[in-house]
């Protein structure tokens, strides 16, 4: 936590966890929460990146969003929290965004979050996400929760479709998060 999706649908089953329909208000509240939690050596995980506004068929829902709406409504709060509070991790959402699983999308995970927003922490999937582990690693998505697919990762490393350097980057980010939290007392 904290969960920070935008209130867009009054029927969203998790609105009680979210803070506002406004990205600025959401980012202001969540940034303060992240700073407070991480002050004590605990990793805050902002979630669910992005456009996670329904629980109905959440593993199959496809959020169809124009680029401008995505940037101004759904990604804006995440951008501000990343820049203002430096969260240690981000959990991606179950849904597809414009036909691509959020955790498998290199544009979302690498280009937007890492290159544009400057996120340096751990990207983790939501628990039980059915996305393809190798595609997640290729997108610089670090951690498969609560299970991965080590056989497919080994096979992709063996056939060269997944580089060792990609995996090393993921492992490095996980170890860096552990070092930020190890040994600190609450």
Q: Is 126 a catalytic residue?
A: yes
Chain position carrying tokens 């992709």:
156
Contact between residue 124 and residue 91 where contact means Cβ atoms under 8 Å apart: yes
φ, ψ of residue 123 to 5 degrees: the values are -95, 125
The bridge status of strand 96-97 relative to strand 122-124 is unpaired
- The residue annotated as part of the active site, out of 126, 142, 149, 159, is 126
Let me know how long the chain is.
Answer: 186
Strand ranges (E), the chain: 45-49, 62-63, 89-92, 96-97, 100-101, 122-124
CB neighbourhood size of 158 (10 A): 9
**C-alpha–C-alpha distance, residues 117 and 88, integer Å:** 14
**C-alpha–C-alpha distance, residues 100 and 169, integer Å:** 23
Catalytic residues: 126
């Amino acid at each position: 936590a904290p969960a920070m999706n935008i209130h867009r649908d009054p029927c969203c089953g998790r609105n009680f966890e979210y803070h506002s329909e406004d990205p600025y208000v959401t980012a202001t509240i969540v940034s303060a929460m992240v700073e407070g939690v991480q002050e004590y050596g605990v990793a805050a995980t902002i979630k669910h990146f992005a456009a996670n506004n329904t629980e109905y068929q959440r593993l199959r829902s496809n959020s169809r969003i124009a680029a401008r709406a995505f940037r101004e409504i759904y990604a804006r709060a995440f951008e501000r929290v990343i820049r203002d509070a430096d969260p240690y991790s981000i959990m991606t959402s179950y849904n597809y965004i414009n036909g691509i699983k959020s955790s498998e999308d290199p544009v979302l995970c690498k280009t937007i979050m890492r290159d544009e927003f400057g996120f340096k922490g751990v990207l983790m999937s939501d628990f039980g996400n059915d996305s393809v582990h190798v595609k997640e690693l290729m997108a610089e998505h670090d951690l498969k929760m609560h299970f991965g697919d080590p056989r497919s990762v080994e096979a992709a490393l063996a056939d060269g479709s997944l580089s060792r350097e990609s995996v090393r980057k993921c492992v490095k980010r996980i170890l860096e998060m552990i070092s930020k939290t190890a040994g600190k007392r609450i």
